[in-house]
A and B are shown apart, each in its own frame.
Chain A
Amino acid sequence: EIVLTQSPGTLSLSPGGRATLSCRASQSVSSSYLAWYQQKPGQAPRLLIYGASRRATGIPDRFSGSGSGTDFTLTISRLEPEDFAVYYCQQYTTSPPYTFGQGTKLEIK
């Protein structure tokens, strides 16, 4: 089973700032099968990024994903008030289980 470790656990930033969230895998994630989700309180998760760097439909271009192998990054440039939420990475290599990271909470400073 691939274990994903996200850092930091909590990130405190101001609107207009730049957020860098990390996701490290315990073994290589083949073909960059890595996704990022955003979840706000009381809501279902929303897909942001798949294939490590491809934005999902309707996702603003201030969200970008990068990385390969075992190290992946979600970057949010120019933080908007609605971006403060919890973010999860997930690996979806061809064999289950399709594990999630423990999440990074992005909070307003």
Chain B
Amino acid sequence: QVQLVESGGGVVQPGGSLRLSCAASGFTFSSYGMHWVRQAPGKGLEWVAFIRDDGSNKYYADSVKGRFTISRDNSKNTLYLQMNSLRAEDTAVYYCAKRGYCSPTNCHYYMDVWGKGTTVTVSS
């Protein structure tokens, strides 16, 4: 079955760095764009970043642009999120999610499969 498993979360001091991973299985990873979405404690969902299937294009929320980098290794079926210059407001559960389907004419960028998430806490 389709599965996404995040790892790499933890406690980090403000200004520090962390790299999240998302291991994918049960589908052809290299054929799908992938998202990162986060949820601060008690808050709603916030889209963070998206990467196309071949890694050719990457998009970021303004709140993380210049600090976070999304990447992927299709040979390892793994998605990454490198987070630098972390701030207290980056504290959240981070989810990776698979992009929806593509028709011959366009793709749908909703999130049809989600991982269980990994928790990042930025605190001194």
Query: What residue in chain A is nearest B112 (Cβ atoms)?
Result: A47
B50 touches A50 (CB 8 A): no
Number of interface residues of B (CB under 8 A): 24
Interface residues on A, range: 20 to 34
Nearest opposing residue in chain B for A35, CB measure = B110
Residue in chain B with minimal CB distance to A51: B108
Residue of A nearest to B93 (CB): A44
Q: Is A7 part of the contact surface with B, judged by Cβ < 8 Å?
A: no
B47: chain A residues within 8 A (beta carbon): 90, 96-100
Measured between beta carbons, the chain B residues less than 8 angstroms from A51 are 108
| A33 at interface, CB cutoff 8 A | yes
Question: A88 in the interface, Cβ–Cβ < 8 Å?
Answer: yes
Q: Is the interface of A mostly helix, strand, loop or mixed?
A: loop
A78 sits at the interface (CB 8 A)? no
Taking a contact as CB atoms under 8 Å apart, the answer to whether A44 and B116 are in contact is yes
> Is B83 in contact with chain A by the CB < 8 A criterion?
no
> Which A6-48 residues have a C-beta within 8 angstroms of B?
31, 33, 35, 37, 39, 43-47
A contact residues vs B (CB 8 Å cutoff) = 31, 33, 35, 37, 39, 43-47, 50-51, 56, 88, 90, 92, 94, 96-103
Other than A47-B110, A97-B62, give 16 A-B pairs with Cβ distance below 8 A. Answer: A35-B100, A35-B110, A35-B111, A39-B45, A44-B115, A44-B117, A45-B95, A50-B112, A88-B44, A92-B108, A94-B106, A94-B109, A96-B60, A97-B59, A98-B35, A100-B44
